[in-house]
A and B are shown apart, each in its own frame.
Chain A
Amino acid sequence: MTESALSHEIKARDLSPGRDRWSGALRSTAQGIGPILLGLIAGGILLIVIGRNPITFYGHILERGLFSWGGLQDSLTRMAPLLFMAAGLIVAFRANIWNIGGDGQFLLAAAIVSGFGPSIIGAYPGGLGLVILCVMAAVTGGLWTVVPAVLKAFYGLNEVITSLMMTFVGVNLANLLIKGPFRSQSTNVPQTDIIPSENLLPDIFGSRIHVGIIAALVAVVIVHYVMTRTSFGLRLNVLGANPRAAVHVGIDVRRLTIVAFMISGAFIGLAAGIEILGVWGYVRADWNPNFGLTLFALVFLARLNALATIPLVGFYAVISMGGHYAARKADLPDDFMLMVVGLILLFMTLTEYFVARRARRPAAPDTSPTVAHDASPIAALDLSPTGSLETGGGHE
């Protein structure tokens, strides 16, 4: 290549990718923290109104969720399935695939793992059984997305509806399995046989934290790498940012839709596998931690940036672990913390609105008649590791 003056100039102004990848993650985190603070303040006012001391209340949360060794271990343990699920949701949401059927995929995978767990772990030496069960969990979660994925890819059916319907089927099928073929004979409670705790995922030495958290962190980092540095990730981003451009540039949209949907389901299945094999060892009928809905909010708060979900999921783990304790101490119902979470989400939406409004400069008139067409709601999101929030409106 002959380097002209112009190319030198452009090269000289190239932004260093290393720095920007991190600044992108930082920015996303920062935009997540603002609404959290506002939510906590509003929750504090609420506490004052009903005659509780917010400092004490939040102090209890921190004490139980973060600053006690036991609480910290619980919070970190809770992060593992949440991070896996976040990874799964990001893969789908980035591609504009609204996999809202996470709870069905999660519970079905949980039922399969705990149903087959006792026999498989007994049949294979060492950790092999655990690995097989994790694979089964991933496959179960992935397969449960096939119906909505195919319907979306080939017939354009809205996956919000279909994956939600599949959730009803999945949740109830999981219960059916737990109360039927997988039901333990050793207890009257409808639940599966318990995997002995010495056969569960090993703990990180000297703690009660199982190794699942490490796997989850690795998964999140891998997802981030794939989304930002690979051709597969770019295809997903293009599909998400502008589905018509995806068709135009020759991306096999059908295949990509199905693959992304299944990867998403597989991560959610893994989340269930890790939770069962790391914490519970069995599933009770009608157990549903309802991680899905909370995580939608968290991954959007992280602006679909995988790395940024780590601190946010950590925060959520702390307030959910500490929240119950604090609520009990303050003689409030367990649900109080949910209200604070709701307030945070409200402020998150408002922040989103104001940031978008600031970024949206009115297009200059007498220009080309085009406006930005990017059809999807996530088009407004920052796709490149470098960029800002602006939704580029075309103008001359």
Chain B
Amino acid sequence: MADLSELRDPPVSAEVEADRPAVEVRGITKAFPGVVANNNIDLSVYGGEVHCVLGENGAGKSTLMNILSGMYQPDSGVIYIDGVEADIESPKDALEMGIGTVYQHPTLIPTFSVLENLLLGQGRGVAMDAKGALAGLKRIASDLGVEVDPHVQAGRLALGQQQQVEIIKALWGGSRVLILDEPTSMLTPQGITELMKALAQLKGRGLAVVFITHKLHEVLDIGDRVTVLRHGRVAGTLGPDVVHAMAREDLQKSIVDMMFGEEAAALAGVAEVRGEVTGHRSNRAMSREIALEIVDISVEPNRGEVGIHDISLAVRRGEIMGVAGVDGNGQRELAEAIAGQRSLHRGDILLDGATIKHSSVSGRQRMGLRYVTDDRLGEGTVSSLSVAKNLVLKRIGDGPFWNRGRVRDEAINECAVDLVHGFDIRTPTIDTHCGTLSGGNVQKLLLARELSFEPKVVIYNKPTHGLDVKTTYAVRDRIRQLAEDDQVSALLISTDLEELLDVCDRIAVLFGGRLMGVVENEIGAEWEVGRLMVGGDAR
């Protein structure tokens, strides 16, 4: 680490006007009960640069962003905008000071038109200046190099286009700093390419872009300046002179060293850390037996869903079948239909050749069909119950944990201790309320529950979403191991294409509740999957 500290920016000298950062933070500290999220952070953002802020989940990226965008106020430290000390007390302040933010999740009102969304909260007068707004929209859109129909309902736009509108909204008041929080997490490969182009345009116009991400390869692709956060501190900063001078591999190694410190060596094998994905696993020797077969199933949509329509899919024993798609294209409906949480409108589901259409959720669970839900707190666990109880939640009333309806604490505790140990769930005691566990540990708890008692087919819904790199790696490993060693089939639903490419044998693509196709995981699969993810027509 010592050699890297030399790479940090020297203190900015005030007399060099051109080199003055558009936004500069010095010594920002922000603590929350039990965690110092930002610890004495320094960061300088310059016009005409893409400044990548990289770090694992929990490293303090979002806190820093929320401070810059006025959502949080720092406990200590100073923010300078164009060299002038500034108090950013609200998101409105930030916008007025020229800092626009694009959040990870869409904030547009789906039933309003693009124009109405842009006008929201912008005007100072009573009347809305629609004409002026139209002109403004046109100007910013051309700056971005995109085209947006101002009158279409925001909810009808693809996520990539919604994000473009968000960017336009962030730049609306003439912002000179654009902060993007994990902007690629919802996009297809094609959408990412477009976003990168737009950012290059903005950079060319002298805007400062802060690009927050946990994906190393994105940093390598577009970063001019890189700041790595770790455990709430700045682990290192690389200026443009260094970033542009270094070979990709060397740059990558420096960044990995900063991100993980001594742990870097241990993570050498993680695809994301290598900065590339080479996990094409097609043609792995595998049983021809079909473990799970879905025949022409349809599910009625609930409000706000697309439902699923006429989906047929067969998963072989020991196969890992990926399910790709932009979030909300029928993934949850599919998972819940298979798990038995929703009734089929049409079609049939076969487990080992026998129909399970009429089996209950718990019946399917006992047969070895497991569902690791993505809604870990909403439906996966009961936060006010203990870790131990949550571990046996799908076996209520069954032996050996219950004896004729009466609870047997010894049996539950014994099982819980085993699982806590076996799955490395970090909890003070097994009696701890589940709601106090961290996200990663809740996920381990769910995996422990679903993967014990002889699973045959497991549906994983976004199994690594929001987990740190190490846990992500461990979870993917376990999925692979179960498939290879124990012939447990998997249906792996994920919005992270890299994950699917890393783990799956084949990848099914959902769009609008329909199956667009099944792609063998081989060279070039990501482009084919990306094409199908947006409905088949190449964008």
A residues sitting closer than 8 Å to B (CB atoms) are 1, 4, 6-7, 10-11, 13-15, 17, 229-232, 234-235, 237-238, 241-242, 244-245, 247-252, 361-374, 379-384, 386-388, 390-396
Question: B386 touching A368 by the CB < 8 A rule?
Answer: no
Q: Is B433 in the interface zone, CB < 8 Å from A?
A: yes
B residues sitting closer than 8 Å to A (CB atoms) are 32-35, 37, 57-63, 66, 72, 104-105, 339-341, 360-363, 365, 371, 373, 375-386, 389, 393-394, 396-397, 402, 405-407, 409, 413-414, 417-418, 420-421, 428-431, 433-440, 442, 465-467
A394 touches which of B34, B386, B413, B437 (Cβ 8 Å): B437
Q: A235 to B407, alpha carbons, bound, how many Å?
A: 12
Question: B431 touching A370 by the CB < 8 A rule?
Answer: no
Question: A373 touching B375 by the CB < 8 A rule?
Answer: yes
Question: A15 touching B429 by the CB < 8 A rule?
Answer: yes
Question: B396 touching A383 by the CB < 8 A rule?
Answer: no
A391 touches which of B360, B383, B418, B466 (Cβ 8 Å): B383
What residues on A are CB-neighbors of B381 within 8 Å? 242, 245
Question: Interface SS of chain A: helix, strand, loop or mixed?
Answer: loop
The distance from the CB of B367 to the nearest CB of chain A, in whole angstroms, is 12
The distance from the CB of A248 to the nearest CB of chain B, in whole angstroms, is 4
Q: A364 to B439, alpha carbons, bound, how many Å?
A: 12
Question: B379 touching A248 by the CB < 8 A rule?
Answer: yes
Question: B373 touching A232 by the CB < 8 A rule?
Answer: no
The distance from the CB of A381 to the nearest CB of chain B, in whole angstroms, is 7
Q: A384 to B378, alpha carbons, bound, how many Å?
A: 19
A11-B413, A252-B360 known; A230 and B32 CB under 8 Å? no
Question: B439 touching A370 by the CB < 8 A rule?
Answer: yes
Question: B414 touching A15 by the CB < 8 A rule?
Answer: no
Residue contacts A-B, CB under 8 angstroms, 12 given: A10-B417, A235-B396, A242-B381, A244-B379, A250-B363, A362-B33, A374-B383, A390-B436, A392-B384, A392-B434, A394-B437, A394-B442
What residues on A are CB-neighbors of B384 within 8 Å? 241, 374, 379-384, 387, 391-392
What residues on A are CB-neighbors of B465 within 8 Å? 368
What residues on A are CB-neighbors of B59 within 8 Å? 366
Apart from A370-B376, A372-B377, A374-B383: 4 A-B pairs, beta carbons within 8 A: A10-B429, A230-B406, A242-B382, A366-B57
Question: B431 touching A230 by the CB < 8 A rule?
Answer: no
Interface centre among A230, A368, A369, A386, by most chain B C-beta atoms within 10 angstroms, is A368
A365-B72, A370-B377, A381-B384 known; A234 and B466 CB under 8 Å? no
A242-B379, A248-B361 known; A367 and B439 CB under 8 Å? yes
Question: A234 touching B57 by the CB < 8 A rule?
Answer: no
The distance from the CB of A266 to the nearest CB of chain B, in whole angstroms, is 19
Question: B421 touching A6 by the CB < 8 A rule?
Answer: yes
Q: A371 to B418, alpha carbons, bound, how many Å?
A: 28
Q: A352 to B276, alpha carbons, bound, how many Å?
A: 52
Q: A395 to B467, alpha carbons, bound, how many Å?
A: 12
The distance from the CB of B56 to the nearest CB of chain A, in whole angstroms, is 10
The distance from the CB of B259 to the nearest CB of chain A, in whole angstroms, is 15
Question: B377 touching A365 by the CB < 8 A rule?
Answer: no
Question: B389 touching A372 by the CB < 8 A rule?
Answer: no
Question: B62 touching A366 by the CB < 8 A rule?
Answer: yes
Question: B402 touching A241 by the CB < 8 A rule?
Answer: no
B382 touches which of A14, A229, A238 (Cβ 8 Å): A238
What residues on A are CB-neighbors of B57 within 8 Å? 366-368, 396
A7-B418, A17-B409, A368-B57 known; A231 and B402 CB under 8 Å? yes
Question: B32 touching A364 by the CB < 8 A rule?
Answer: yes
Q: Which residue of B lies closest to A235 (CB)?
A: B396
Q: Which residue of A lies closest to B61 (CB)?
A: A366
B33 touches which of A232, A361, A374 (Cβ 8 Å): A361
The distance from the CB of B124 to the nearest CB of chain A, in whole angstroms, is 31
The distance from the CB of A373 to the nearest CB of chain B, in whole angstroms, is 4
The distance from the CB of A177 to the nearest CB of chain B, in whole angstroms, is 38
Q: A98 to B378, alpha carbons, bound, how many Å?
A: 21
The distance from the CB of B448 to the nearest CB of chain A, in whole angstroms, is 14
Question: B466 touching A369 by the CB < 8 A rule?
Answer: yes
Q: A380 to B382, alpha carbons, bound, how many Å?
A: 11
Q: A229 to B440, alpha carbons, bound, how many Å?
A: 30
B431 touches which of A238, A245, A372, A386 (Cβ 8 Å): A386
The distance from the CB of B418 to the nearest CB of chain A, in whole angstroms, is 6
What residues on B are CB-neighbors of A238 within 8 Å? 382, 385, 393, 396
Q: Which residue of A lies closest to B65 (CB)?
A: A366
Q: A366 to B414, alpha carbons, bound, how many Å?
A: 35
The distance from the CB of A259 to the nearest CB of chain B, in whole angstroms, is 13
What residues on A are CB-neighbors of B60 within 8 Å? 366
A365 touches which of B37, B379, B405 (Cβ 8 Å): B37
The distance from the CB of B118 to the nearest CB of chain A, in whole angstroms, is 25
What residues on B are CB-neighbors of A374 within 8 Å? 377, 382-384, 435
The distance from the CB of A245 to the nearest CB of chain B, in whole angstroms, is 5
A4-B421, A383-B384, A394-B435 known; A14 and B442 CB under 8 Å? no
Question: A250 touching B365 by the CB < 8 A rule?
Answer: yes
Q: Which residue of B lies closest to A226 (CB)?
A: B405
Question: B362 touching A250 by the CB < 8 A rule?
Answer: yes
Query: A-B pairs with the 10 shortest C-beta distances?
Result: A392-B435, A250-B362, A368-B439, A250-B361, A368-B466, A373-B378, A231-B397, A396-B438, A366-B62, A244-B379
Q: A15 to B409, alpha carbons, bound, how many Å?
A: 12
What residues on B are CB-neighbors of A363 within 8 Å? 32
B385 touches which of A15, A241, A372 (Cβ 8 Å): A241
Q: A173 to B286, alpha carbons, bound, how many Å?
A: 69
Question: B439 touching A14 by the CB < 8 A rule?
Answer: no
Question: B58 touching A394 by the CB < 8 A rule?
Answer: no
A10-B430, A238-B385, A394-B377 known; A372 and B361 CB under 8 Å? no
Question: B421 touching A245 by the CB < 8 A rule?
Answer: no
What residues on A are CB-neighbors of B428 within 8 Å? 13
Question: B380 touching A248 by the CB < 8 A rule?
Answer: yes
What residues on B are CB-neighbors of A368 within 8 Å? 57, 438-440, 465-467
The distance from the CB of A65 to the nearest CB of chain B, in whole angstroms, is 36
B383 touches which of A229, A235, A362, A394 (Cβ 8 Å): A394
Interface centre among B72, B384, B394, B433, by most chain A C-beta atoms within 10 angstroms, is B384
Question: A14 touching B34 by the CB < 8 A rule?
Answer: no
Q: A366 to B213, alpha carbons, bound, how many Å?
A: 12
B396 touches which of A1, A231, A241, A388 (Cβ 8 Å): A231
Question: B431 touching A15 by the CB < 8 A rule?
Answer: yes
What residues on B are CB-neighbors of A382 within 8 Å? 384
Q: Which residue of A lies closest to B32 (CB)?
A: A364
A373-B377, A390-B436 known; A232 and B405 CB under 8 Å? yes
Q: A387 to B432, alpha carbons, bound, how many Å?
A: 8
What residues on A are CB-neighbors of B365 within 8 Å? 250
Interface centre among A232, A237, A367, A391, by most chain B C-beta atoms within 10 angstroms, is A367
A368-B439, A392-B435 known; A384 and B386 CB under 8 Å? yes
Q: A393 to B433, alpha carbons, bound, how many Å?
A: 10
A244-B379, A364-B34, A366-B57 known; A390 and B435 CB under 8 Å? yes
Q: Which residue of B lies closest to A20 (CB)?
A: B431
Question: B37 touching A364 by the CB < 8 A rule?
Answer: yes
What residues on A are CB-neighbors of B397 within 8 Å? 231-232, 235
What residues on A are CB-neighbors of B105 within 8 Å? 369
Question: B394 touching A372 by the CB < 8 A rule?
Answer: no
Q: A273 to B518, alpha carbons, bound, how many Å?
A: 66
Q: Which residue of A lies closest to B435 (CB)?
A: A392
What residues on B are CB-neighbors of A1 within 8 Å? 414, 417-418
A245-B381, A250-B394 known; A386 and B37 CB under 8 Å? no
The distance from the CB of B180 to the nearest CB of chain A, in whole angstroms, is 15
What residues on B are CB-neighbors of A6 within 8 Å? 417, 420-421
What residues on B are CB-neighbors of A10 within 8 Å? 417, 420, 429-430
What residues on A are CB-neighbors of B63 within 8 Å? 365-366
Question: B435 touching A393 by the CB < 8 A rule?
Answer: yes
Question: B383 touching A379 by the CB < 8 A rule?
Answer: yes
Q: A374 to B375, alpha carbons, bound, how many Å?
A: 11
Q: Which residue of A lies closest to B364 (CB)?
A: A250
Q: A10 to B32, alpha carbons, bound, how many Å?
A: 28
The distance from the CB of B415 to the nearest CB of chain A, in whole angstroms, is 9
